[in-house]
Structure 1
């Protein structure tokens, strides 16, 4: 029996993906574990492995196809002994069920004819009732549909006013139920604020200007699945999570000295610690010392995690991905450094596995290498906090009641105020500052 090969869900948030490249062709024999295709998900480009054995009988979805829904059949595998040529090219699983629109009842048709026939001859009571209904606040505009016989759907009052004022109903979008044109739409047309119906000459005046309106030279490219997902998730995060931001200035001189000494001892092992490696460790230890910040809010439940898994923001072509250092609070600095270099390298090559970037209890984002002094990062749900790291720079700084020059770094914590109180967030920032300024504490 032929086996339908379906678009896999390669991440918990994946709803659709791009079939970037086929690694097999029709007629190829495949076994369990063979690589079949490269699929661009909402996070990265990942390889798709075969589970079943057989022959690729048909490739249903061509490579390069975008917006392929999870579960959609992308290829068919013929099992041993089956004739690949007998397999249908378009399996039924891909066909959308098409249900005929139910016929309108005779009572409903009669009611609609009566409504359409009212026109300007409706009695005074009907007119007053219609006027009162249309002066109420109308919902957001929708395109005015045809009534089925070529006539634009509009209320009797709107038709009378349009005729009196010389307004073309066909050029308007209706804001009434089902896109019906009402009195408010006629008034807006008189003021020049009515939205034009798409496809008409009036559409030449959009509500929002775009760059091309000003003849500015530009290029255009289609958003990738990753960029669309980033845009959607960041919008949701800012709209649904009440962010609170807390900033501290941290003296880095002791941390930089310790890093230099450790690197000298690690040189024979070809390990070189970065400042970010130490900051990952400091954040993880801080979360364990202030467990009220190592949390996640899900519905009416608050989860408190028993280990600190730190998601580290890594910039890649086309977007951002956050590989995870699991149990960073209990790992050595050398282990964190080695693991981070491996994860970052594979992230930029699009080779991360799902479990390597899904999860995490908190995040860290470092833009210090770009000279950014400080910034407020957006929380990555379902996590409840993210630490934003700025550049370390020489600044005047008061040390032992005297003004001196020190290497200072600003760090800003973004906290989900639904899950983390301001005082608890402040406590985490205090502990993080102390560990960075006295780094031997994170190694004890």
Structure 2
């Protein structure tokens, strides 16, 4: 959802400004998921020396070539040199025209090399005083193209190149690139933080609940959902259904975290205080000369999760200004809350942490599916995986995937808004549209995030 992503990105820009100058250098091994505080630049050329992409011979000029037997000794010296292969490369004798020198993949290519030929495309002829390297008749002509199989210095990155811009989260490949280009640590912003506000007089955290009560479904899972998204949970508050307490709790948490996630209280009854407080604050702020709170999403056009809200609430910073903190208000029904978290929450968190918006995916439906009244998000599994097929009249047998090795998907059972069992069996989410779907037709799909 682009609106939710843009909301997170807006908060991220204000957060970056507020945290300017508060970065810390973190070792690469500890930096996964953290956000770059500065542009990441290559400290030297990558690769930092000309090297061979194949096992074979560095050659100079056209064949045949006389084998220069200094190659193996110089290769060993290159690997053992105090400053590594780059220093040793300068000590290798230049390869003269008509000469060849043995090289291995990743080994230093001497100056004067016109290309590298693979060993399997050559054979050797021994003479009285030397060995000649000759191309096999079946060797492709491309093997003698200038620069063939040579990895030139700086081909991947030149010294000073920007490898990633400030604001990017550090992924495993990006951490590897940082190391390859000379970094031992990286400057990062403090981690993005979240606070949870769990509401409801009827919620019990242990034992067997009485009639009218329910066991908590959120404190045991939402922190893990947030951590899987790279968010650090810094506070969890549990409150009853009271409007003044709800307002005070939100005011407290907005100063503790970069995003607030609430559960329950998003309906439209007199007992739904989260919705009431967020709406009141938005109205009060709109009449102010410097609005600090606003509603971004008042409800969703989907089920489950229809009464979800997304708001921005002002957080005072030392300079006396206010920066927006997203407040994601999830319904109290557990599947509805997780569906809304996947649609809205994921987009907000991506915007906050820096990745690009999520790329939509589709999968083929395994069977005919009826039209829904509104778009419906349901846990689903591949048709070939273990588990019962949901009851009903599918109309057709499961359809094969439309691509080789591609699974067709179908909804699982137990997917009412108050249920969790379906999601425990699901391998992803299907977005069922407001029109009938035929078996084999591609429909929107969201992978699980844990």
Q: Give the shorter-chain TM-score range.
A: under 0.3
Q: With the length of structure 1 as denominator, give the TM-score of the two structures.
A: 0.25
Q: Which has the higher contact order (CA 8 A, sep 6+)?
A: 2
- Which one has the bigger helix percentage? 1
Q: With the length of structure 2 as denominator, give the TM-score of the two structures.
A: 0.25
